[in-house]
């Protein structure tokens, strides 16, 4: 049994420090086989697996949520766009009917099939009148006359070459099928002045005008809205980008909507596609949006969550490794000391021993040291847990207090039924905007909105249905506002909209659009079988230096709107007071 005897050294001759043995600090020199490394890799693997599982579940949930929202938003955009297209075509037919009611055209039309002298004079007069009409109208680019055999008698405006199928399609319908000329879509509106034996007037218009309508709703998306004919050809789109030759998916049946689904674009890009059938011309309205843009939040969330998780994994692994190193290093030093002692090395710093066998003293010293280390570790861990609990409780209480303060602040300015700002917040905002406008001299407009016959609905359907109408009207109006507009529930069934930077013409257009949208929206009221058409009356006024006067003028305009039969927009002027 080896023993250790301390070697006396003179005070004036301090011993040289022993050279580090080749086994010293083996934990750093053998990183792969050391205990800290194995522990670090174990923590790394466990944390990485947990992070990947959590990331996959989170991203799957986000993807499912965004797909559900897409399924809800796409049909709404398609239906609104389809309604505006119907309105646009109705305006074209009305403009064509003005040609038919023109007295000059009607007076000379019956002379076209007569003798040469009368026919020549009639063609000249009709040509002159058509030139005048085309110059006054921005709806049509050309007009031409066909006799009963389909031969062209007269052509005014831009010349195009039309197919026989397009011309034949006007025999039994007022609007022809779509045709293409020089890469642009064109269409005809037929006008009859008599029976089928008399010549017919055909008015040509460009389908590029549909781009403006499609762009109104298309700019709300990151993709495009397009019109596809029954042969799956693209006729018009909300963007100027090159379009594919044909729409690849199956077209929906009339009255049906194609649910949003994945598809591939012309360059292999991933798309989200939805479509709705248009009764007119057997066309289809299509929404195509790139997946990366539609679900950009998923891509961003993927990168962010993955980056955070990798950082957490690396941090945990490093902490585990460093902790293991710190834990094992003292044991390595004691083991090295024991090894050096067993090899007979002298002057090894060890705890002073007492009487008896040195090995027993060393064992007791190591045991006492181990006990002290374990006791200190337990005390440190207990203290750490206590500090963590205290910090956790403090953070929790601070978060609860912060959330409570935010909720109270929001509730103080929010209407509980509609989620809009309340009367108090609106008055504060009006005061601030009035002061700002006095400095900057920018335009400021106010729109007061009142739901027509609201009391009768409450009396007949109950207050729950009335509350639902208020919520739905508020939701419809919120979708039409800009980020700078402020919409508030002013009281009862009355709303107030403050439009900074908007003159009286812009405010009037906004009010008319809101009134039309509310009137065209179907409101489902309990019981579900009862559908109600909701209308509103609106009063519009502009700020002229006095905020009380602004509200008074808007209120008088609203009163005039309700007195004029409701479901209309009235702009304040001085004649209202008269």
Whether 248 and 155 map to the same domain: the answer is: no
DSSP state of 143: E
User: H helices of 479-571, where?
Assistant: 504-520, 547-563
Same domain for 267 and 247?
yes
- Based on the domain organization, do 205 and 226 belong to the same domain? no
Question: In 3D, which of 241, 255, 256, 272 has the Cα closest to residue 74?
Answer: 272
Residue 13, in any domain of the structure: no
Asked if residue 341 belongs to a domain, the reply is no
Average pLDDT estimate for 381-390: 86
pLDDT at 10 (0 to 100): 41
Q: Are residues 165 and 239 in the same domain?
A: no
How confident is the model at residue 211, as a pLDDT? 77
Strands of the 536-542 sheet, one edge to the other: 486-491, 494-500, 444-451, 536-542, 569-571
So what's the pLDDT on residue 332? 62
Average the pLDDT over 273-289 and give the result. Answer: 76
Provide the Cα torsion 340, 344, 350, 352; round to 10°.
170
pLDDT recorded at residue 347? 57
Mean pLDDT of 554-576: 90
Cβ–Cβ < 8 Å for 129, 105:
yes
What mean pLDDT value characterizes the chain?
Answer: 76
Range of the domain at 115: 102-209
Q: How many domains does the chain have?
A: 4
- Residue 11, pLDDT score: 45
Domain identity same for 495 and 534:
yes
Percent of the chain with pLDDT over 70: 69
Please check whether residue 184 lies inside any domain of the structure. yes
d(CA 140, CA 469): 42
Q: Residue 271 is part of a domain; what is its CATH number? A: 3.30.450.20
Final residue in a domain of this structure, among 157, 189, 209 = 209
Q: pLDDT: is 517 or 330 the higher one?
A: 517
Residue pair 338/365 in contact (Cβ under 8 Å)? The answer is: no
User: CA–CA separation, 119 vs 570, rounded Å?
Assistant: 51
Residue with tokens 């086994």: 23
> Is residue 143 within 8 Å of 134, Cβ to Cβ?
yes
Range among 34-38, 83-87, 158-162, 342-346 with highest mean pLDDT value: 158-162
How many angstroms separate the CA atoms of 370 and 53, rounded? 40
389 vs 448, higher pLDDT:
448
With bands split at pLDDT 50, 70 and 90, how would you rate the model's confidence at 95? Answer: confident
Tokens 């110059």 locate to: 135
> Which CATH number do you get for residue 553?
3.30.70.270
Q: What is the pLDDT of residues 231-259, one digit of tens each?
A: 777 777 777 666 777 777 777 777 667 77
- Domain boundary among the residues 269, 294, 319 is at 294
- Give the mean pLDDT of 324-342: 62
Q: Cα–Cα distance between 298 and 522 in angstroms, integer?
A: 33
Query: Is the entire prediction scored with pTM above 0.75?
Result: no
pLDDT greater than 80 at residue 432: yes
Closest CA to 246 of 257, 238, 235, 254: 235
More confident residue, 318 or 363: 318
- Domain shared by 175 and 281, yes or no: no
Residue 464 has pLDDT above 80, yes or no: yes
Choose the final residue of a domain: 389, 410, 431: 410
pLDDT at 475: 92
Examine the pLDDT at 571 and tell me if it is beyond 50.
yes
């Amino acid at each position: 049994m080896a023993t250790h005897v301390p070697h006396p050294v003179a005070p004036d001759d301090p011993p040289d420090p022993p050279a580090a043995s080749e086994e010293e600090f083996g934990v750093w020199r053998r990183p792969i086989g050391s205990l800290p490394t194995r522990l670090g890799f174990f923590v790394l693997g466990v944390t990485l697996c947990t992070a990947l599982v959590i990331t996959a579940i989170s991203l799957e949930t986000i993807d499912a949520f965004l797909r559900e929202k897409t399924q809800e938003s796409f049909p709404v955009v398609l239906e609104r766009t389809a309604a505006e297209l119907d309105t646009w075509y109705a305006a074209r037919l009305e403009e064509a009917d003005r040609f038919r009611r023109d007295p000059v055209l009607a007076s000379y039309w019956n002379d076209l099939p007569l003798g040469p002298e009368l026919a020549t004079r009639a063609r000249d007069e009709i040509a002159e009148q058509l030139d005048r009409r085309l110059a006054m109208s921005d709806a049509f680019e050309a007009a031409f006359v066909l006799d009963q055999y389909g031969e062209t008698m007269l052509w005014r405006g831009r010349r195009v070459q039309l197919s026989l199928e397009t011309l034949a399609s006007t025999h039994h319908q007022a609007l022809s099928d779509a045709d293409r000329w020089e890469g642009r879509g064109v269409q005809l509106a037929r006008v009859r002045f008599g029976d089928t034996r008399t010549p017919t007037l055909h008015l040509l218009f460009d389908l590029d005008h549909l781009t403006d309508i499609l762009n109104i709703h298309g700019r709300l998306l990151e993709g495009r809205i397009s019109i596809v004919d029954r042969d799956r050809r693209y006729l018009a789109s909300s963007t100027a980008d090159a379009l594919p030759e044909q729409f690849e998916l199956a077209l929906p049946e009339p009255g049906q909507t194609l649910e949003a689904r994945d598809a591939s674009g012309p360059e292999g890009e991933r798309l989200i596609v939805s479509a709705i059938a248009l009764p007119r011309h057997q066309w289809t309205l299509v929404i195509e949006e790139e997946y990366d843009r539609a679900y950009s939040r998923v891509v961003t969330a993927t990168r962010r969550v993955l980056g955070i998780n990798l950082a957490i994994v690396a941090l945990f692994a490093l902490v585990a490794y460093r902790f293991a190193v710190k834990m094992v290093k003292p044991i390595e030093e004691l083991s090295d000391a024991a090894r050096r002692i067993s090899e007979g090395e002298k002057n090894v710093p060890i705890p002073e021993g007492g009487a008896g066998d040195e090995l027993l003293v060393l064992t007791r010293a190591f045991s006492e040291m181990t006990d002290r280390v374990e006791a200190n570790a337990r005390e440190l861990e207990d203290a750490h847990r206590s500090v963590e609990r205290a910090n956790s409780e403090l953070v929790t209480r601070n978060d609860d207090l912060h959330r409570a303060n935010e909720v109270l602040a929001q509730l103080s300015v929010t209407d509980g039924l509609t989620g809009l700002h309340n009367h108090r917040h609106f008055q504060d905002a009006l005061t601030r905007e009035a002061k700002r406008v006095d400095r900057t001299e920018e335009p400021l407009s106010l729109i007061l909105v009142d739901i027509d016959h609201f009391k009768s609905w409450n009396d007949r359907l109950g207050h729950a249905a009335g509350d639902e109408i208020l919520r739905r009207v508020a939701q419809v109006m919120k979708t039409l506002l800009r980020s700078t507009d402020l919409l508030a529930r002013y009281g009862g069934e009355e709303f107030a909209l403050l439009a900074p930077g908007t003159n009286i013409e812009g405010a009037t257009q906004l009010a008319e659009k809101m009134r039309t949208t509310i009137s065209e929206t179907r409101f489902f009221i309990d019981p579900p079988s009862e559908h109600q058409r909701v209308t509103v009356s609106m009063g519009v006024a502009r700020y002229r230096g006095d905020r009380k006067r602004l509200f008074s003028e808007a209120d008088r305009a609203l009163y005039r709107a309700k007195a004029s039969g409701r479901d209309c927009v009235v702009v304040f002027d001085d004649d209202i007071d008269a």
